[in-house]
Amino acid sequence: MAVIAILIVLDSPGSPIFIQERIGLGGKRFRVYKFRTLVRSRSDKAERDYMKEFISGRVKIGDGALHKPIPKNDFTRVGRFLRKSSLDELPQIFNVFKGEMSLIGPRPNVPWEVEFYQLWHYERLHALPGITGMAQVMGRSSISFDQIVRFDIQYVRYQSIQLDLWIAWRTFKTVFSGRGAG
């Protein structure tokens, strides 16, 4: 992680760590840590508008479309590699140590995304959020929000060590294949 942090600082000015408020177990807010992959002067208005449409089901996924589309020039050079390899998620191990996250569980959303949830989406908040989860290994960034939530709810309802081991194995395979990376 130290090498990645140095590469980020050498590639673009600013902190190598990006901190963002997320919603976790039971709707509790916490600060998630990630490696910074985007330029610092970026506005998130377009992403917010897109995610509102994505969560409401008005975005059609297919033909290689990914959710959270970010213009290529908003990524740093190192950031493109970190996103594709999912190495930008490594600092979340500190969230795991703090008890805010688990290795496996539903991915935590930012508060403004949760504002757009339908009632049935809230069941995904009944488990500790994870660095990886069932939705990440079943489609990653190439499935609809409702499909993501269905996978998360399936995980919440059927959590087990066996399921966690299966997801961990699939995560390993998914990350190294680069499929669905956003």
Average pLDDT over the chain reads 87
For tokens 């290529």, the residue is 72
Segment 39-64 shows an average pLDDT of 72
**pLDDT one-digit tens code per residue, 119-162:** 999 999 999 999 999 998 887 667 888 999 999 999 999 999 99
pLDDT at 175: 76
Give the amino acid at 106: P
Among 143, 179, 137, smallest CA distance to 155 is for 137
Coil, strand or helix: which one is 97? helix
**pLDDT one-digit tens code per residue, 58-105:** 776 654 555 556 677 788 999 999 988 889 999 999 999 999 999 999
Alpha-carbon gap, residue 142 to 130, rounded angstroms? 19
Given a cut of 60, whether residue 112 has pLDDT beyond it is yes
Give the amino acid at 177: S
The CA distances from residue 26 to 62, 101, 107, 142, 153, in Å, are: 32, 12, 13, 27, 14
pTM score of the predicted model: 0.84
State the pairing for strand pair 17-23/102-104.
unpaired
For tokens 């901190």, the residue is 19
The answer for residues whose C-beta is within 8 angstroms of residue 66's C-beta and 6 or more apart is 141, 142, 180, 182
For tokens 């590699």, the residue is 81
CA-angle at 179, arms to 141 and 121, nearest 5°: 25
Helix (H) or strand (E) holding 91: none
**How long is the chain?**
182
Q: What is the dihedral of CA 122, 125, 129, 132, to 10 degrees?
A: -40
